[in-house]
Chain A
Amino acid sequence: MNENTNNKWVWIGAAVLLVALCVLPFLVKNFRVFQFNMVMIYAIAVLGLNILTGFNGQISLGHGAFYAIGAYVAAILMDKAGVPYWATLPFSAVICFVVGYLMGFPALRLGGHYLALATFALALAIPQMLKYKGIEEWTGGVQGIVLNKPEAPFELSVLGQPLSADRWLYFYILLVTAIMFLIAWRLLRGRVGRALVAIRDHPIAASAMGVNLPVYKSLTFGVSAAFTGVAGALSATAVAFVSPDSFTSFLSITFLVGVVVGGLASIPGAIAGAIFIQFVPNIADEISKSAPWAIYGIFLILLMYLMPTGVAGLISKIYSRLRGGPAAASAGRSVASAVSQPVGGSQS
């Protein structure tokens, strides 16, 4: 009985949310719609990094590189081969998966700091590689590639607002985001997800239980890169411009900030993290050009001390306080173990 009413409320909530999401772009200006698009794109990228870092415990400071590769693959396909924007996603995903998988191989031999270091090197090197003269014909060199924003295929007017290119993209990106989150949810809430967390928390025990460490770890790297690559491809469409200097090493750090703020090993946390990295710099920009990064840094360090489970952990903590049940409190605990337990330390 109770279960049934609960279910009903979940459905009603989901329907309200869906309607709100559909009306939202027509209530605000085009520029805001563009910002919402970027939030969804960042959410996919942050989710991709979270699969690797939050769930599997492999630290990457180089996911900006996969984002860049995804964006460039999409841009080159649209610009040189005339591929329609929606058809670029699988290409970006597959290429990033392959690159990520290849990066995952050396990653097998590297633990913790060294992996962070190797991926950081990748993030620093990628703008230079994109500027390389030998592939300038494809990448446009320092100038990058300018694209056209896809127009809506039909005319529509809601609340007196036309369906502009940005609003059309909003629905397109919303659909892709929903699909990507669904894939991640299906992947992580089952056997595979448990295996990943087991590898993170106790690799030796995990392999003793029959988890194939090398296969899982390198595949996770590939899947994570593919998610971020899809985000990159979407960004090429939404921004309609790619250039080497939009993919500096700081982009990778931005994604890490998103993961930490949203909450390690939390799927919905990726959205909170994406909202943070999209809007906080805008607010902080008004203080000084350098302020966003100072604030990012302070947030990173403070969150590690005060709230290692991020926004998602905070919400589940508040929720369980409200419910008052000790059972509900355990929901956040498995996440907390990712950061509060020493790596390799056994857990009872």
Chain B
Amino acid sequence: MEALLHQIFAGIANGGIYASVGLALVMIHQATHHINFAQGEMATFSTFIAWWLIQNGWPYWGAFFFTVAISFALGLLIQRTVLKPVEKAPVLTNVIVFVGLLVIFNALAGWIFDHTIKSFPTPFPKGSLIDTQFFSSHEIGSILVMLCVLGALYAFFRFTPLGLAMRAAAQNPESARLVGVRVSWMLGMGWGLAAAIGAVAGMMIAPIVFLDPNMMGGILLYGFAAALLGGIDNPWGAVIGGFIVGILENLLGAYVIGTELKLTVALILIVGTLTLKPDGLFGKAVVTRV
């Protein structure tokens, strides 16, 4: 029984990470109806920046917030320079550009910071106050951080004019433009926010899985599964989906299929959700007019 509880709690902790990656994907999807394949690689790159800062003597939280800010700027910059020209291009072009970004970030991370596996510090050391029987302090800490991110995002979208403008731009670009929202810049903001959330997720997962250029490959897949399971157009769905995927992954890994086939679980979840319930658990059914 205790072992089962352990698995479930570890699943919740991982689920928090998947939820945040899923959330970042939902953010971009809501604004642009695209799925960003480079999300994981961008997050890894941000984590490398944080690692480099900490190596050079920055305090953890200083490096943390600086990295988030840098990632936001980087995301915004990428949208403005690389993606703006293909904003209205067909899906294939977009997917290819995303894949291009994916390999560029992966290669750059390997090129600049080299391919050796690095350990990443955690701000929540063992044996601190929040250490409990079932959770390690890092697990609790990362869940708290993710909840803070979620809360901040909710407040941003709900209570600030900028958040309102972003929602408007995503929902009805034409009308939003008519009332003076700069739609294209709002898309850039969306990219910036997604990159920032990705950076937080990267820094939270790195102490667990260790840092190397391919760190986010599997996590990105779980993030996709989370976002799809919850419904790709629903931020709360992505969060709940993340926790479901996290728990499911850990339970299946521990009791049913073993740890080697974990990625296959994600594959089955993705294909299964897309075929059986394409709108996800909490998504709205999309009706297109032909």
Residue ranges of A at the interface with B (Cβ–Cβ < 8 Å): 53, 57, 59, 61, 105-106, 109-114, 116-118, 120-122, 124-125, 128-129, 131-133, 204, 249-250, 253, 256, 260, 264, 288-294, 296-301, 304-305, 308, 338-343
Contacts and interface: CB of A to CB of B under 8 A. Distances in A.
B234 to A, nearest CB: 16
A300 B266 contact: no
A300 B35 contact: no
Contacts of A299: 100
Interface stretch (B106-114, B135-143, B145-153): B106-114
Contact of B111 (A113, A133, A294): A294
13 contacts: A110-B278, A112-B92, A125-B221, A128-B264, A132-B261, A249-B217, A256-B99, A293-B106, A300-B96, A301-B96, A301-B101, A304-B93, A338-B92
Nearest to B38: A297
A342 B111 contact: no
Nearest to B108: A294
B34 A339 contact: no
A130 to B, nearest CB: 10
A294 B107 CA distance: 5
B89 interface: yes
B2 interface: no
A289 B107 CA distance: 9
Contact of A290 (B88, B108, B278): B108
Interface of B: 33-35, 37, 82, 85-86, 88-97, 99-104, 106-108, 110-111, 115, 217-218, 221, 224, 258, 260-264, 266-267, 270-271, 274-275, 278, 290
Contact of A304 (B96, B104, B115): B96
B100 A301 contact: yes
Contact of B96 (A120, A249, A260, A343): A260
A94 to B, nearest CB: 22
A133 B108 contact: no
B104 A297 contact: yes
B130 to A, nearest CB: 34
A59 B89 contact: no
Nearest to B272: A106
B103 A293 contact: yes
B90 A342 contact: yes
B264 A125 contact: yes
Contact of B95 (A112, A133, A290, A308): A112
B162 to A, nearest CB: 27
Contacts of B262: 128
Closest 7 CB pairs of A and B: A297-B104, A112-B91, A300-B100, A293-B107, A290-B111, A294-B107, A297-B103
B103 A121 contact: no
Q: Which of B88, B96, B270 has its CB near the most chain A CB atoms (within 10 A)?
A: B96
A117 B270 contact: yes
A110 B272 CA distance: 12
B95 A113 contact: yes
